[in-house]
Amino acid sequence: MILLASPSADTLTTWKRGVGGLAQIFCTDTLDALKQSLEHSKPQILLLDHDLPGVGIPTGIADLIKLNPAIKIVVFSGPLADEAEWEIFKAGVRGCCHKSIDPKLLNSVVTAVLQGELWMRRTLTCRLLDELGKIALDQSNAKQATSDLLASLTPREHEIAALIGNGESNKQIALRLAITERTVKAHLTEIFRKLEVSDRLKLALIVTGSLNTLDQT
């Protein structure tokens, strides 16, 4: 099912003509009706007019995706600056088109997006790759920092950190290592200090590789 949402009857008519024959089509012209359709009709794709009242606010699109996380959204708007368009993609939309797009192209847009393609104008694609590179570098730095901090633990601290990663309590660790709980707590205090964490669950996530030390900030 294809859901079309625009306050303009003319726009809806044009879009309907453009995507006719692809799937069942449903139209809405208000944000409330759109939200209801997203929740109850479970459309595969939404063609969304950026001028629909309530959509243009920073959380507008993200709120719609929360109602139907599987939905693929293509936004139609007037000319947007690179930054504004990038923010729309970061909200989770799969395509962004100029409102004056040739209706004959709509069929291709919908088909491509439904197949998992990203309908992004070419001049914005380098921004996407730059963002990929930046995040990958941040991740790599965070992993390295975590690895360096873990290397600063003594063998005994390593042992205790690993047991925390297994979900064991101080009492269980004390029994397993034949030491007192007080000693376990003393080791833990030192581990927390070295790894710059404030609690055992963050420590467990770091030990199991689910969290990097830099992620906490």
- List residues binding another protein (CB under 8 A): 89-90, 92, 94, 112, 115-120, 122-123, 125-126, 128-129, 131-133, 135-136, 138-139, 169-170, 185, 198-202, 205, 211, 215-216
State how far the Cα of 1 lies from the Cα of 197, in Å rounded to an integer.
48
Q: Least distance from C-beta 132 to another protein, angstroms?
A: 5
Cβ distance to another protein smaller for residue 12 or 164: 164
Per the CB < 8 A criterion, the answer to whether 164 and 210 are in contact is no
Which residue number, 12 or 110, has a Cβ lying nearer to another protein?
A: 110
Rounded least distance, CB 97 to another protein, Å? 13
Minimum distance from CB of 153 to another protein (Å)? 19
- For another protein, which is the closer residue by CB, 83 or 199? 199
Nearer to another protein, 28 or 213 (CB): 213
Q: Which amino acid is at 18?
A: G
Q: How far is the CB of 135 from another protein (least distance, A)?
A: 5
Contacts of 90 (CB under 8 A, 6+ apart): none
Cα torsion 152, 153, 155, 161 to 10°: value is -140
Segment (H or E) for 160: helix 155-165
Mark residue 102 as left, alpha or beta (left: phi above 0; alpha: psi -120 to 50; beta: remaining): beta
